[in-house]
Amino acid sequence: MAQSELSSDARKAVRISFEFFPPKSPDMEGQLWQTVEELSLWQPDFVSVTYGAGGTTREPTLAVVRRMIAETPMPTAAHLTCVGATRDEVLQVVDEFCAAGVRHFVALRGDSPNGVGSKYVPHPGGFASSYDLVAALRARKDVEVSVSAYPERHPESADDGIDIDMLKRKVDAGATRALTQFFFDNDIFERYLEKVRAAGITIPIIPGIMPIQNLTQLKRFASMCGASIPVKLDERFAGLDDQPQARADMAADIAAEQIADLVARGINDFHLYTMNRSALTNATLKKLGLRPKAGSLSGAAA
């Protein structure tokens, strides 16, 4: 048995979800829908579609969500942010998503329109923060609301206590699940989860897993969102720059090993950041001993 392959009982307990983002070009649109068709065979618990800061991808996100709901059997969640809009404008978007069949939102504050690292200032007449958005969603609609969580602390949080207090505010407002920022050190996640539970937060905290498509790009992204990249990742990719298949195999090994270790620690739910590509996600899940379900979508990649 491979190091990352799960036992039969463990495989039955694992639940997965996927994240997609709206495409920015016709080529990327084709890639998205091919990925959706292939990953739908895993029958995820749900999938989510991201939403640009200030509603910059409002129409593309809505178009993707509508098609997901119309053409796939996958429960589809829509991301939503507070940035760059009044309360009424945000709630109008909520009405549009609900009219399309959405019953699950991922409620986020969103980054400052002045860029990552700049001070966040609520839009005049807008939601002060994500917990206000959560409360408004739960008050207006019979919907499920997921929120974000940060095992290595949000970049704007001065300490762990402030960060966990913010999560508790979101839970008190009605959040039903938290999806974490990606991380690569499971000890960090386990310590974070212990602090969260000690604070009386009982909702599911689902690890965000990022299979490594490109280590250099990942480092740039991680530096902006406060995630650390262990030195051992550089060591494992060393010498593979001109070997694309070997790099892909290594990336799948790393992601599968991380998930297998988390399963051994009692975690069964995982949210995979697909980057709108199926190959690495497929390879990761297969290394765990999981197998896609029979059947396929009709028309989803048309």
Query: Distance (Å, rounded) from C-alpha 167 to C-alpha 206?
Result: 13
Q: Mapping DSSP to helix (H, G, I), strand (E, B) and coil, where does residue 139 land?
A: helix
Q: What's the CA angle centered on 75, arms 251 and 51, to 5 degrees? A: 70
Q: Are 61 and 96 in contact (CB under 8 A)?
A: no
Query: Distance (Å, rounded) from C-alpha 125 to C-alpha 53?
Result: 17
79, β-bridge pairs = 106
Angle between helices 244-264 and 186-198 (to 10 degrees): 30
**Tokens standing for residue 67:** 């098609």
Q: Which of 202, 185, 159, 179 is CA-nearest to residue 270?
A: 179
Q: Are 103 and 64 in contact (CB under 8 A)?
A: no
Query: Distance (Å, rounded) from C-alpha 124 to C-alpha 291?
Result: 49
Query: Distance (Å, rounded) from C-alpha 69 to C-alpha 53?
Result: 23
Residue of 5, 19, 71, 152 with catalytic role:
19
Query: Distance (Å, rounded) from C-alpha 224 to C-alpha 75?
Result: 30
Q: Mapping DSSP to helix (H, G, I), strand (E, B) and coil, where does residue 151 land?
A: coil
Q: What share of the chain is helix, strand, coil (3-state, %, to 5)?
A: 45, 15, 40
19 is catalytic: yes
Residues annotated as catalytic (active site), given as ranges: 19
